[in-house]
Chains A and B, each alone.
Chain A
């Protein structure tokens, strides 16, 4: 019963990410591809996305930081970021990239710098939401749960877990 309710809370959380426009149908595609033969698929793709994005954002920041901005280079990075975010369904990032490219075409440096800020914000926002999602999902796995009760968790996973436990404590559920 408790596990069922937690699962429903998790579904609600996931749904909210779609409602907020953070994720789109492409994310559903990835979930549909996940199966017993590869139960970590979505997590793996998203993980690759995070690694790839960190590198891209560094390159992008550096390129925008130059005395003379090479707009073709900047455009290439933004195009890549638009592609990868679209492939995992990170809709808001993708939309900022589309806008970003428009300003690149106009060679409007001020607007580009604003877009760079915005794209970073959107990235860290969706990253944080997805990390929470994956962490809680893995914690729901009873085996993982049992193991985690034995060993100390990292501080951020611990605080996330505490939030969830508080929620359930308030709804009078025992874990």
Chain B
């Protein structure tokens, strides 16, 4: 597909190396991706690798737990598993759903701090709400695009706190109260619509709204 690709390819954004080595000894970010679809596994792996992330891809929730050492077996946790920086999981999977996996991860003292992102082709509000309430950072619509993953890795892995997303929690600056109900980032642009901040304790879904 080189020819067609060359013609139709748009320039990918500069500074592709968002996750990875800067040559100054900064370690790679390690993402664990979970999806039962072989096609989606291939695509998500490539998306993440193109952002210079280290990627581990598994095909089920139970394999993800196995990898993390949370499967209740007396397997020793692999060294790799200790350094997972982000978990991206499909929602609809046979056996264990992404939601069930999310709960297990958030229920573990060792891994609850790892951000978890849910991916789904179905935008069911109750489902999205449930995932966010359970502690998912973000809910991505499938098919997942490069720009989604790039934005995600930028704010989740590099801690660039100004990013908001359609279905994610607003990352507030450190000196802000979690209960504040209007956007408080000093760099937010008043002329563009911005999300109201969303605290875990309340259930309404963040909606696009103009800043007051």
Contacts and interface: CB of A to CB of B under 8 A. Distances in A.
Interface stretch (A35-43, A57-65, A119-127, A162-170): A35-43
A35 B2 CA distance: 8
A48 interface: yes
Size bracket of the A interface: 35 or more
Given A28-B8, A33-B47, A87-B39, A137 B2 contact: yes
Name the residue among B2, B42, B145 with the largest chain A CB count within 10 angstroms.
B2
B55 to A, nearest CB: 13
Contact of B10 (A14, A32, A83, A86): A32
Contacts of A49: 39
B92 A79 contact: yes
B127 interface: no
Q: Kindly list the 7 A-B residue pairs having the minimum CB-CB distance in the complex, ordered from nearest.
A: A42-B1, A31-B5, A84-B39, A14-B4, A87-B143, A26-B143, A34-B5
A137 B4 contact: yes
A30 B10 CA distance: 12
A16 to B, nearest CB: 12
A99 B206 CA distance: 30
Contacts of A133: 1, 4
13 contacts: A7-B3, A26-B143, A32-B5, A45-B42, A45-B43, A76-B94, A83-B37, A83-B121, A86-B121, A86-B143, A87-B142, A89-B143, A133-B4
A118 B4 CA distance: 28
Interface of B: 1-5, 7-10, 12, 37-40, 42-43, 46-47, 50, 92, 94, 121, 142-143, 145-146
Nearest to A35: B50
A32 B39 contact: no
B8 A14 contact: yes
Contacts of B3: 7, 10-11, 137, 140
B4 A88 contact: no
Given A33-B146, A42-B5, 9 more contacts: A14-B8, A29-B143, A29-B146, A32-B8, A32-B12, A33-B47, A82-B121, A83-B39, A86-B142
Given A28-B8, A33-B46, A82-B121, A48 B146 contact: no
Nearest to A7: B3
Name the residue among B1, B10, B47, B143 with the largest chain A CB count within 10 angstroms.
B1
Contacts of B40: 83-84, 87
B123 to A, nearest CB: 13
B68 to A, nearest CB: 25
Contacts of A48: 38-39, 42
A80 interface: yes
Contacts of A30: 43
A80 B90 CA distance: 12
A141 interface: yes
A33 B121 CA distance: 21
A41 B46 contact: yes
A105 interface: no
B2 A39 contact: yes
Contact of B1 (A29, A82, A134): A134
Contact of B42 (A26, A28, A29, A44): A44
A138 to B, nearest CB: 9
Interface in A79-119: 79-80, 82-84, 86-89
Contacts of A33: 43, 46-47, 50, 146
A87 B4 contact: no
